[in-house]
Structure 1
Amino acid sequence: MGFFDKVPFCRKLSKITYMKFLFLILLTISMIFPLIGQQKKGKMKNVIHPEMKTGFAAMENVAQLPLLFPNGTQTKQPLAYDATGGNWDHHFLAAFTQYIDTIVLPGGKKIREYVIFDEYGPGVLYRQQMNAWYDRSKIPNGWLAWGEPDQPRADANIRYYFDDEAEPKIDMHLKDYFGTKFYPYTEPLAFVDSGYLFANSYYPLEFSKRLKVTLRPNAQSFEEMDTKWYQYTMLAFPSDYNISSWKGTETEHHNIISQWNNAGQNPNDLSGCQTIRSSNSIKKGEVKQIAHLKEPGSIVGFKLKVSPYSKETFFNAQIKIFWDDHPEADICLPVSYFFGAGGKDFPETSDKIFNQSLTSLMFGFRNIEQSYYNYFPMPFWKSAKIFFENNSGADISQLDLELIFKPESVLAYPYQKSGYFLAKRTIDSDPDTLGFRGVAFSETGKGHIVGITFYTDRYDMDGDEFTYIDDSRTPQIHGSGTEDDHNQGWAGRAYQKPLWGGLFNGYSGAYRIYLNDSYVFNKSILKCYEYSLTKPKFVNGGHTEVTTFYYKSGTDQGLMLTDELDVGNHYDEKLHQYSIEGMTWKGILKDEYDGYERNLQFGACTDDGKAFNGQSGFRVKIDPANQGVKLRKRINRNGNGVQKATVFVDGVKLDRPWQIVTLSMSTGKGTLDGWFDSDYEIPASFTEGKDSILVEIKYEASPQKSEINEFYYWVYSYVGY
């Protein structure tokens, strides 16, 4: 009996009929399987590669903003500031100059170059802010809001040396490099104030090994000018990260120029996106859900239009966003704050703010159109719920919401390597003028800041930023005046640029977007602004209100303290097998960390330590499940100039030296704050699977100092991955 005869159903069919039936089945299957294949192909996720792009590629790729930075990435900001805790940030030798290089020209002539930036890579210098053209010596009893690009005291060339090359790749007059007239250092990536009070550039400079920036004076008077400031913000990536050094002025960046010239339009890639719209009316006192997205993906455009568009709805209606069914709102803000506004409780400016419009690359509001927008990518992995709470005291007759949604099937963010988009409002005050700092933002976990708005009432612009990352007692980001921290100078003006600006000036109604110069943290971050001594007119104190936009991991990954070594403590040294060769000093010092103007003794402590021009070694505990290690060292910098060392882990030399370049000269205005915490990152390839490592620190000769010192070590393991 054949197969046909064994199948009961088939017995009822003739063989010819059966063959026809079988043919139809096979034909149907042959048609379905390609469709299944196509369906699967259509649902394949375009996962963003976790190794993020850098330089221009990062700047145009807004979609990578939620990606968490690789372990060992540091945000750094060399700048001019007064290390005595005072307000002499403009002092040329003690605040502006990091150290001095002596260059021998052909023929034997020696000239000096003043180093303002010297960092080892791989890294990217993303932000350059400069203020060097105003000569206050002409009016010693006051100041005039006008600078001179050709004034003799700003007559110098700025020089950029890449990867220890003998000659700089960039060698231009200071006024030309920052003057926006010489391609490619032109608008919109570069800007100079019409009165030459300040200039800045977002032209990124990538470097593989090292970047050093110097100023070579063309006139003796340049060295006599004290009214100079700068801030250079960079990201230092792990030493095994692949970055190629800047290729030159022909580097392609037309897409960035187009994005920035069209600020207010969505800079995201909108291919494959869906538009979700809703309209609602909301009575006063009512809370209404205005959107519920039930599939994973990301919001890449968020527009809102509210009627009536009044001061009451602008400041008193609230927006609440819940990611992935979290029990508490991830974002809870007055509605206008989510789009760049603030200062609702400041009577002198709140009316003016409401009547303004703001246009930046990532957020804004438009008084005439009565609308708001936010273009930060906002990924989620289950769902998103958006609520609108009408506390305005008036009925809202029309609320139009437009979301641009990119499904996970089009673009998928890896949960372990991405962060939720969050926004937090922080209010601080100085009611009696006796405090020394105001807190602008505080958070724990792993993430990065991508933007802020800064609103003030009776606040002085001379307050410096102090941002402490991962429990460091030295601020990794030290400012030189609030308006400088927001890319302006000498109070600033009401500029509105793609990444920075202000509704009034550089410290009231100001904003700055950290598009690629993000503040990266792995354990904690504390962002403060000092209350300056130069504000006697504000007898009733001052107030700040800061909204911070940031991404934060939803996991428990981050940094864990796994060991400590107290150098100079005999028991601790023995426990960690500490050894030293070429010791030049040992003893006990009492000193302070970087101080605030109203608390110059900030962080005072007494510690014992040692200095050497040979090497030291010690064994420390780490977590076996680590994905890299951070070493933090307390040094004393008073009079020490550059401290540089080669680092070995278990006998293997690491490519990046541990170089600490920090201000060390006295201004004559006070005692230098000498304690300084410096971080060094060890890649996971040196530490994976180990429960301890032997670390050796070998002194490298420096023209600035014949020894290095060490007082205390903290050892952190990257865990939770």
Structure 2
Amino acid sequence: MNDDPKPPKGLASLERFDLLPLLRDGVQARYEGSIDKQGFNADWDWLLYKDGAEFVIFDVDGPGCIYNFVQHRYPDSPEPTFRFYFDGEAEPRFELKHAEFGAKAPFVKPLADAYLGPEEGGRGPIRVVRSFVPMPYARSCKITTDIRLKGANKGDGGWGHVVYHAYAEADEGLATFTGNESYERVRELWSRVGEDPKPDLPSDATVRRELSIAPGDAVVVFEAKGAGCIVSMLARTPGIGANELWIRATWDGHGAPDVYSPLGAFFGNELGFNAIGVLSHGTRTDGISYNYFPMPFWRGARVELVNKSDKTIRVPEWDIRCTFEASALAQYREGRAGYFRSSSYRESRATLGSDAVIGEIAGNGHMVAAQVTAFARKPGTVSCEGDVRVYIDGIATPQIESDGSESYVCYGWGFPTPPQTNPSSGYDGLPDNPWSMVRLCAGDCYPFRERLVFGIESGDYNNQYLRHSGILFYYGVDAPGMRLTDELDVGDRGSEEAHGYASIGGRGSYTVESGYEDGTHRRLADTGRETEGSSEFTVAIDPRNAGVRVRRRSDQITGRQRAHVYVDGERVEARSWYFADRNPYKRWLEDEFDIPAKYTSGKTDITIRLVFEQEGENRVWNEFYYWIYSLV
């Protein structure tokens, strides 16, 4: 084995499940999709702009990789053809019809598939296509359709999303998607859900025992000193309520548990009505529950089962496998890999008028799985309309969203036919309510450097009474991976003078009062500037930085804002600062640009110049506030 591998990108991130603990420096998770711009539930008009006869639904600049593509339509809707343009090409490199998901290579099962939902108010059955085929690109990517994806009525059908990673720098080993790549290894892994997807590692310690745990007691099921990595946990737990028995795991003598979760959620089955299983964790049809997330430690480990019920619990089978093999552990160098952890479990409760926060994470790491469960007041209630919103490192604009929880989990309308499961997502429940969904984010993990907040709406726009519970799983370390080192308030004379702010081709200042796309009614008034030429300012950074992240508050009333970024006179080559979407209702946008360390390392301050380039309808670059973070 490679004794110090890089975090995998593109196809390799699905092939190397064993490298999931490696921290993802220089990677950001992003979303583009059909979100209602006014914050309600009209999540179906999926369009950025029109390019000739084609309708653009995705457009990004810089290196990255698409990991998840979902689109919904009704069978009597016109069928769209999706065209994929890479690296500025004038002609599409790949084309895919809606009906070809699951059939046209490489978009074949189990990496891509289609789901046929039920009749829904006379409009259905809705057909949902989904793909987890990695599609990397070295410079840029644009996706178009030949028809407008515009409606929610019979004869229409046009909502969906793309989840992707943006890379701070181009990777010489990352080749742009062609459609001819070999996906056989991933397809073979994904076809064996329930088996360990990691390489066959020597397991020096295997614990098998029949357990009896009294009410309120905790039993140690595994303990080790020194460095190791738990390879798998398997259990047979018939008749045990999903929240009666909890697992508590502590690595390296930490003062608080790293994992503290109900056993049902730990095995991807919080409700436990049906056997749901994804690649990483779940329950097989033979009743064996499994968790294959690699769990490295460097000084010791302790795993306990805690009985939170009022009765004695008997566990017929419990199996933990751990490797202490030096060659296997070399890939998990301390500081390069994170601990496997859980967020604090959210007990079932309602949050009225705002998103229910399923989990909050602090430190530096990446989220790899989410479990969300919802109860409505009565059966027969369609309760899946709530959008998932994920906020990363304190940014006010959600970086990951979904047009409904059913879209987040890549299925269809209303959770009417449980169970449904694929290697990366699944749901369990009764018709409509209650329901529980599990989502594995292996390729499309969500990196964070300070914190991550995962929330979900209650209904169309937080207008339903729903009780939510759930938990997040992630790899992380306590120390944050970035630090705020400067702020520039554009429009404030003192702040501008302190940072040497200057604008060439400026059109003056203006004030906006509006809101963010965060599901709240809060409004913010701020004064900023717009320019047809360029702006320049000097900011303080930490000389020990591993790169710099620049966050901007801007007015997204018009889309396709683009500027080229120069640092101390040198242009950042990997990408331009480009945002293709718009929102004339929720006008505030916070977006970010990562400057690689080769432009910033060892410096105490840098001068940033942003040179506007016109794209489409947009005529200016606007800026209201900048936050400067030193990556550490």
TM-score, normalised by the number of residues in structure 2: 0.92
- Conserved 8 A contact 1:436-1:532: no
- Structure 2 residue aligned with 1:304: 235
Secondary structure of 1:77 counterpart: strand
1:53 CA displacement? 2.1
In the TM superposition, what whole-angstrom CA distance separates every residue of 1:206-247 from its partner, at most 9, and x where no partner exists? 100011101123999999965311110011111243353335
| 1:685 and 2:598 are equivalent in the alignment | yes
| 1:673 and 2:592 are equivalent in the alignment | no
Q: Which amino acid aligns with 1:303?
A: L
| 1:63 and 2:13 are equivalent in the alignment | no
Which of 115, 118, 122 aligns to 1:193? It is 115
- Structure 2 residue aligned with 1:99: 49
Q: Distance in 2 between matches of 1:618 and 1:120?
A: 23
- Conserved 8 A contact 1:282-1:390: no
Q: Distance in 2 between matches of 1:468 and 1:249?
A: 32
Q: Distance in 1 between matches of 2:314 and 2:459?
A: 46
In the TM superposition, what whole-angstrom CA distance separates every residue of 1:470-525 from its partner, at most 9, and x where no partner exists? 11111111221111111112224421111111113798221110011011111111
Q: Distance in 2 between matches of 1:700 and 1:223?
A: 38
- Structure 2 residue aligned with 1:85: 39
In the TM superposition, what whole-angstrom CA distance separates every residue of 1:609-639 from its partner, at most 9, and x where no partner exists? 111110000000001111110000010011x
| 1:388 and 2:305 are equivalent in the alignment | yes
Q: Distance in 2 between matches of 1:185 and 1:259?
A: 16
Which of 432, 438, 447 aligns to 1:520? It is 447
Structure 1 residues 434 and 503: CA distance shift in structure 2, 3 A: closer
- Conserved 8 A contact 2:202-2:325: no
| 1:157 and 2:81 are equivalent in the alignment | yes
Structure 1 residues 89 and 615: CA distance shift in structure 2, 3 A: same
| 1:184 and 2:106 are equivalent in the alignment | yes
- Conserved 8 A contact 1:294-1:382: yes
Gaps of 5+ in 1: 1-44, 103-111, 135-147, 344-352, 667-671
- Structure 1 residue aligned with 2:70: 129
- Structure 2 residue aligned with 1:3: none
1:377 CA displacement? 0.6
- Conserved 8 A contact 1:208-1:243: no
Matches within 5 A, 1:33-44: none
Which of 572, 575, 578 aligns to 2:495? It is 572
The structure richer in strand per residue is 2
Matches within 5 A, 1:453-468: 453-458=371-376, 460-468=383-391
Q: Distance in 2 between matches of 1:533 and 1:499?
A: 25
In the TM superposition, what whole-angstrom CA distance separates every residue of 1:422-473 from its partner, at most 9, and x where no partner exists? 1235436665x84221111111111111111111101821111111111111
| 1:362 and 2:275 are equivalent in the alignment | no
- Conserved 8 A contact 1:97-1:115: yes
Structure 1 residues 381 and 175: CA distance shift in structure 2, 3 A: same
Which of 361, 364, 388 aligns to 1:446? It is 364
| 1:289 and 2:216 are equivalent in the alignment | no
Larger mean Cα displacement after TM superposition, 207-216 or 420-429: 420-429
Q: Which amino acid aligns with 2:436?
A: G
Matches within 5 A, 1:253-264: 253-264=183-194
Q: Distance in 2 between matches of 1:271 and 1:253?
A: 23
Larger mean Cα displacement after TM superposition, 478-487 or 491-500: 491-500
Secondary structure of 2:406 counterpart: helix
Matches within 5 A, 1:413-428: 413-427=332-346
- Structure 1 residue aligned with 2:625: 712
Q: Distance in 1 between matches of 2:247 and 2:150?
A: 58
The structure richer in helix per residue is 1
Which of 420, 423, 427 aligns to 1:498? It is 423
1:586 CA displacement? 1.4
Structure 1 residues 243 and 465: CA distance shift in structure 2, 3 A: farther
Which of 318, 328, 349 aligns to 2:256? It is 328
- Structure 1 residue aligned with 2:530: 611
Q: Which amino acid aligns with 2:326?
A: S
Q: Distance in 2 between matches of 1:397 and 1:615?
A: 69
In the TM superposition, what whole-angstrom CA distance separates every residue of 1:288-345 from its partner, at most 9, and x where no partner exists? 2121122312112111234xx2234x431222111011122211222222111224xx
- Structure 2 residue aligned with 1:10: none
- Conserved 8 A contact 1:155-1:218: no
- Structure 2 residue aligned with 1:558: 481
Structure 1 residues 626 and 199: CA distance shift in structure 2, 3 A: same
Secondary structure of 2:343 counterpart: strand
- Structure 1 residue aligned with 2:92: 168
- Conserved 8 A contact 1:630-1:715: yes
Secondary structure of 1:410 counterpart: helix
Q: Which amino acid aligns with 1:272?
A: P
Matches within 5 A, 1:509-548: 509-533=436-460, 541-548=465-472
1:572 CA displacement? 0.7
1:697 CA displacement? 0.3
Structure 1 residues 498 and 635: CA distance shift in structure 2, 3 A: same
Q: Distance in 2 between matches of 1:220 and 1:502?
A: 27
Q: Distance in 2 between matches of 1:208 and 1:535?
A: 39
1:396 CA displacement? 4.1
In the TM superposition, what whole-angstrom CA distance separates every residue of 1:139-160 from its partner, at most 9, and x where no partner exists? xxxxxxxxx1xx3x43332110
- Conserved 8 A contact 1:127-1:201: yes
Q: Distance in 2 between matches of 1:565 and 1:334?
A: 45
- Structure 2 residue aligned with 1:214: 144
Secondary structure of 1:483 counterpart: helix
Q: Distance in 1 between matches of 2:149 and 2:327?
A: 58
1:121 CA displacement? 2.7
- Conserved 8 A contact 1:429-1:438: no
- Conserved 8 A contact 1:565-1:713: yes
Secondary structure of 2:500 counterpart: coil
Secondary structure of 2:495 counterpart: helix
Which of 375, 378, 393 aligns to 2:292? It is 375
| RMSD of equivalent CA atoms | 2.4
Q: Distance in 1 between matches of 2:449 and 2:385?
A: 30
Q: Which amino acid aligns with 2:421?
A: Q
In the TM superposition, what whole-angstrom CA distance separates every residue of 1:238-279 from its partner, at most 9, and x where no partner exists? 124335333523211111111111100111111333341231
Q: Distance in 2 between matches of 1:568 and 1:695?
A: 17
Q: Distance in 1 between matches of 2:160 and 2:14?
A: 22
- Conserved 8 A contact 2:39-2:461: no
- Conserved 8 A contact 1:629-1:684: yes
Gaps of 5+ in 2: 117-124, 377-381
- Structure 1 residue aligned with 2:61: 120
- Structure 1 residue aligned with 2:9: 54
Q: Distance in 1 between matches of 2:99 and 2:289?
A: 38
Q: Which amino acid aligns with 2:589?
A: F
| 1:658 and 2:577 are equivalent in the alignment | yes
